[in-house]
């Protein structure tokens, strides 16, 4: 929300304190404090208005028609002149000044519409550098073409046992399970197909389920879906389980965003609303369905072509996907319902793939270290290395894993979504128009910059913020506490009416949406807190383990930073420890990479469970030292700059 919108909120304190809003066609009314946005009022009333961006005013999805009453707020580039004349406003930008009648058009009700293939999606599918050997290609879901010997008087085994025997030979599986309906169809299928059939099998641990037997050879078409169920973004990859390759990817915003940007708010919603859990389960499954549909359409597939879905995500998102009550996750002693649930029929969860296809969940470790982290360890191979590695996954929470083949420890730090581009003045996710790289020649001059998709800039994403903070620090435009230096002779530095300084990166004439792109003082403090939490958590773990960063062989940074993260700048601002740049690697979205590996390999899926079981969880929220370290880390790069010798040199100390 920009300065203008903000300031409007503070006017008119002499008017009535609350207003009534009636939503049509729902016929639901609600009383809210005057100045409340229509979107917030709708949430309070339990009326659904689509809002992909979560109320940031950047998606333009939440248009509503004010039929009666006065609202205040800025006009939006998402509305045409005619629409504005007819009374349309963005619900997130329009604040109620009087009693209102608000009509919600049908188009603002569509939940989580699939977007054009996200530019970030391409990046995820490029992660094929991850270890995977050819002999490991035993996907969770397999198809085997078998030519059975027809029965004779001398060899008159029953159909099922004949099939199982041959399938055992070609698959190496020993104990089978099969649904009654499939067995009932078996004699006709086998005979009509002249005993040449394709058997589909699904891994169920000690048992293998024969999910279908189809005539002829259909074994060449065997597709799976890997899903990263992020709090903010849901990403799906279509995987060729025969070739062991990723075919394509799609991404969308989580349909849960209107209900809260972080998981705790969503858990509270579920606890409060009578059908909250069922509603969230459906939202989550629909997100997956829409991405599956998008990939099916793009690659011209039928619904039956996709046989398995493997999902990774944080513990709450996994609970919501399965319709498990997440309420105990947020309450001491922080306990989930199931961390390593068995596979389920995807159809039972409303996920539309092959009706007999399965949904596999990557296992979670604890309430706040989820399946995304287990998938990350699996993908990066930390658990197989002799030497010590660290995985830092930066999302709404920052999760850290330290360990090697012998032991692993993990922790979670509440970083906030600043590096995800959320809740900052001009923050955005790493999609088209996001500033993801920047160099300043001096206080006035941009040396270089890039945006995702090479579009005109419309905001700043995580890697852009890392660069920006480092450049401002290097040039002395911000000091080590993060304060913007207003004494400097710099036309990019301006001071708001409320005396808060901002650094303007692009003027309105240079941007894709005709608005300034800037970094406000409070944004810097949010980013400072986020980096401090992540660094402090990492340091606490290192200390608890009586290690030093020098003993770590590799630090891998994962997260939705876009295609790019300048490691040197991440060290400079103190997000990452000051070790040799060659020891730090940006590894992208390891959550989906791990889900994909598991989808392609039963062994890897089993390994993921081993990872989850063997991981030690380190609870930071109850560790008094964490707060000390957090405060010490709330400097660029750190209170104790001696810990960052390379930075000390660069900053000329």
Only one residue has tokens 């002499």, namely 14
What minimum distance in Å lies between the beta carbon of 369 and a second copy?
11
Residues 207-266 binding a second copy (CB under 8 A) are 207
Contact letters (x/-) for a second copy, 579-618, by CB under 8 A?
A: --------------------------------------x-
Looking at the Cβ atoms of 91 and 369, the one nearer to a second copy is 369
Looking at the Cβ atoms of 78 and 334, the one nearer to a second copy is 334
d(CA 566, CA 96): 43
What minimum distance in Å lies between the beta carbon of 367 and a second copy?
7
Residues 346-385 binding a second copy (CB under 8 A) are 348-349, 364, 366-367
- Choose one: 4-12, 41-49, 341-349, 481-489; the region binding a second copy (CB under 8 A): 341-349
User: How far from chain centre, in Å, is Cα 54?
Assistant: 14
Sorted by sequence, the CB contacts under 8 Å of residue 194 that are 6+ apart come out as: none
What minimum distance in Å lies between the beta carbon of 210 and a second copy?
10
What minimum distance in Å lies between the beta carbon of 600 and a second copy?
22
Adjacent-strand bridge partners of 145: 198
Looking at the Cβ atoms of 155 and 489, the one nearer to a second copy is 155
What minimum distance in Å lies between the beta carbon of 392 and a second copy?
23
- Choose one: 254-262, 267-275, 333-341, 522-530; the region binding a second copy (CB under 8 A): 333-341
Give me the helices (H) in 110-220, please. 119-125, 159-171, 180-192
Buried b (16+ CB within 10 A) or exposed e, 67-99: eebebbbbebebbeeeeeeeebbbbbbbbbbeb
Site residue total, a second copy (CB under 8 A): 50
Looking at the Cβ atoms of 280 and 561, the one nearer to a second copy is 280
Options 13, 17, 134, 180; binder of a second copy; rule CB under 8 A: 180
Taking CA 285 as the corner, what is the angle to CA 90 and CA 362, rounded to the nearest 5 degrees? 125
d(CA 377, CA 553): 15
Options 293, 525, 619, 641; binder of a second copy; rule CB under 8 A: 619
Contact letters (x/-) for a second copy, 44-63, by CB under 8 A?
A: --------------------
Looking at the Cβ atoms of 302 and 333, the one nearer to a second copy is 333
**Neighbouring C-beta atoms of residue 107, cutoff 10 Å:** 10
Options 42, 226, 236, 324; binder of a second copy; rule CB under 8 A: 324
Q: Is 184 in the site for a second copy (CB under 8 A)?
A: yes
Looking at the Cβ atoms of 156 and 491, the one nearer to a second copy is 156
Looking at the Cβ atoms of 78 and 344, the one nearer to a second copy is 344
Looking at the Cβ atoms of 209 and 354, the one nearer to a second copy is 209
* Element containing residue 625 per DSSP (H, E): helix 624-632
What minimum distance in Å lies between the beta carbon of 403 and a second copy?
20
What minimum distance in Å lies between the beta carbon of 306 and a second copy?
20
What minimum distance in Å lies between the beta carbon of 195 and a second copy?
11
- Choose one: 5-13, 46-54, 204-212, 413-421; the region binding a second copy (CB under 8 A): 204-212
d(CA 506, CA 518): 7
**Neighbouring C-beta atoms of residue 371, cutoff 10 Å:** 32
d(CA 321, CA 227): 11
Only one residue has tokens 């799906």, namely 236
Residues 129-168 binding a second copy (CB under 8 A) are 151-153, 155-161
Please report the DSSP string for 306-373 in residue order. Answer: EEEEEEEE-HHHHHHHHT---GGGSSTT---S-SSPPPEEGGGGT--SSTT-EEEEPPP-SSSS-HHH
Looking at the Cβ atoms of 240 and 328, the one nearer to a second copy is 328
d(CA 82, CA 84): 5
First-last CA distance in the chain: 38
Would you say 120 and 431 are in contact if contact means Cβ atoms under 8 Å apart? yes
Options 188, 406, 479, 640; binder of a second copy; rule CB under 8 A: 188
Options 33, 187, 355, 476; binder of a second copy; rule CB under 8 A: 187
Options 322, 361, 394, 428; binder of a second copy; rule CB under 8 A: 322
How many Cα atoms are found within 13 Å in the side-chain-facing hemisphere of 328? 10
Taking CA 279 as the corner, what is the angle to CA 276 and CA 284, rounded to the nearest 5 degrees? 120
Sorted by sequence, the CB contacts under 8 Å of residue 395 that are 6+ apart come out as: 230, 231, 232, 314, 372, 415, 417, 420, 559, 560
Options 147, 175, 297, 522; binder of a second copy; rule CB under 8 A: 175
- Choose one: 25-33, 342-350, 391-399, 414-422; the region binding a second copy (CB under 8 A): 342-350
User: How far from chain centre, in Å, is Cα 504?
Assistant: 29
Q: Is 183 in the site for a second copy (CB under 8 A)?
A: yes
Options 79, 111, 247, 338; binder of a second copy; rule CB under 8 A: 338
Strand order in the sheet with 196-204: 141-147, 196-204, 207-215, 176-178
Looking at the Cβ atoms of 50 and 412, the one nearer to a second copy is 412
What minimum distance in Å lies between the beta carbon of 606 and a second copy?
11
d(CA 197, CA 219): 9
Looking at the Cβ atoms of 397 and 634, the one nearer to a second copy is 397
Options 2, 217, 327, 646; binder of a second copy; rule CB under 8 A: 327
Nearest to 207 by CA among 351, 343, 311: 343
User: How far from chain centre, in Å, is Cα 402?
Assistant: 22
Looking at the Cβ atoms of 214 and 432, the one nearer to a second copy is 214
- Choose one: 139-147, 222-230, 316-324, 638-646; the region binding a second copy (CB under 8 A): 316-324
Write out the two tokens for 401. Answer: 């894993």
Q: Is 409 in the site for a second copy (CB under 8 A)?
A: no
What minimum distance in Å lies between the beta carbon of 327 and a second copy?
8
Burial of 649 (0-12, 13-18, 19+ CB in 10 A): exposed
Looking at the Cβ atoms of 321 and 570, the one nearer to a second copy is 321
What minimum distance in Å lies between the beta carbon of 344 and a second copy?
5
Looking at the Cβ atoms of 187 and 476, the one nearer to a second copy is 187
Residue 89, φ and ψ in degrees, nearest 5: -135, 165
In the complex, the residues that contact a second copy under the rule CB under 8 A are 151-153, 155-161, 175-178, 180, 183-184, 186-188, 204-207, 322-325, 327-328, 332-342, 344, 348-349, 364, 366-367, 617, 619, 622
């Amino acid at each position: 929300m920009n300065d203008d919108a903000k300031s409007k909120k503070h006017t008119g304190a002499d008017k009535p304190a609350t207003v009534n809003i009636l939503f049509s066609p729902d016929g639901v009314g609600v009383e809210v404090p005057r100045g409340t946005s229509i979107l917030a009022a709708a949430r309070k009333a339990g009326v659904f208005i689509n809002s992909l961006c979560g109320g940031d005013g950047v998606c333009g999805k939440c248009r509503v028609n004010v039929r009666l009453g006065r609202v205040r707020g800025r006009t939006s580039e998402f509305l045409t002149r005619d629409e504005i004349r007819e009374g349309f406003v963005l619900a997130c930008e329009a604040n109620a000044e009087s009693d209102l009648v608000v009509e919600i058009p049908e188009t603002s009700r569509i939940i989580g519409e699939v977007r054009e293939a996200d530019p970030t999606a391409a990046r995820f599918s490029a992660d094929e550098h991850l270890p995977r050997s050819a002999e490991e290609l035993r996907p969770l879901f397999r198809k085997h073409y078998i030519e059975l010997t027809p029965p004779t008087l001398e060899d008159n085994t029953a159909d099922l046992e004949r099939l199982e025997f041959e399938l055992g030979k070609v698959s190496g599986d020993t104990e089978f399970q099969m649904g009654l309906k499939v067995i009932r169809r078996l004699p006709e299928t086998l005979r009509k197909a002249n005993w040449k059939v394709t058997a589909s099998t699904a891994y169920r641990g000690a048992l293998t389920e024969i999910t279908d037997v189809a005539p002829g050879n259909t074994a060449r078409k065997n597709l799976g879906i890997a899903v990263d169920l992020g709090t903010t973004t849901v990403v799906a990859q279509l995987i060729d389980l025969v070739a062991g390759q990723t075919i394509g990817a799609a991404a969308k915003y989580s349909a849960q965003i209107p209900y809260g940007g972080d998981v705790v708010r969503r858990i509270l919603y579920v606890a409060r609303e009578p059908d909250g859990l069922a509603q969230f389960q459906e939202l989550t499954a629909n997100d997956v369905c829409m991405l599956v549909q998008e990939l099916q359409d793009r690659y011209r597939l039928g619904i039956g072509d996709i046989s398995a879905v493997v999902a990774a995500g944080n513990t709450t998102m996994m609970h919501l996907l399965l319709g498990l009550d997440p309420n105990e996750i947020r309450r001491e002693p922080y306990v989930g319902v199931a961390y390593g649930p068995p596979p389920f029929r995807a159809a039972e969860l409303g996920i539309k793939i092959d009706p007999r296809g399965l949904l596999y969940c990557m296992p979670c470790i604890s309430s706040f270290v989820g399946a995304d982290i287990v998938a990350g360890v699996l993908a990066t191979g930390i658990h197989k290395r002799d030497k010590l590695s660290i995985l830092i996954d930066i999302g709404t929470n920052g999760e850290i894993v330290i360990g090697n083949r012998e032991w692993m420890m993990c922790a979670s730090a509440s970083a906030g979504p600043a590096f995800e581009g959320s809740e900052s003045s001009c923050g955005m996710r790493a999609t088209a128009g996001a500033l993801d790289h920047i160099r300043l020649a001096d206080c006035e001059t941009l040396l270089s910059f890039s945006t995702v998709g090479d579009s005109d800039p419309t905001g700043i994403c995580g890697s852009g913020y890392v660069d920006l903070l480092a450049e401002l620090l290097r040039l002395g435009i911000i000091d080590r506490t993060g304060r913007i230096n207003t004494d400097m002779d710099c036309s990019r530095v301006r001071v708001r009416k409320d005396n808060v300084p901002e650094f303007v990166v692009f003027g309105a004439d240079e941007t894709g949406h005709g608005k300034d792109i800037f970094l406000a003082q409070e944004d810097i403090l949010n980013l400072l807190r986020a980096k401090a939490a992540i660094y402090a958590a990492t340091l606490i773990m290192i200390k608890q383990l009586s290690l030093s960063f020098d003993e770590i062989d590799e630090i891998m940074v994962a997260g939705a930073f876009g295609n790019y993260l300048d490691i040197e700048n991440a060290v400079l601002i103190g997000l990452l420890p000051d070790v040799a740049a060659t020891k730090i690697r940006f590894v992208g979205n390891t959550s989906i990479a791990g889900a994909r590996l598991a989808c392609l390999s039963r062994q890897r899926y089993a390994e993921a469970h081993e990872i989850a079981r063997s991981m030690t969880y380190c609870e930071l929220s109850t560790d008094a030292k964490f707060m000390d370290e957090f405060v010490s880390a709330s400097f660029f790069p750190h209170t104790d700059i001696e810990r960052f010798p390379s930075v000390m040199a660069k900053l000329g100390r």
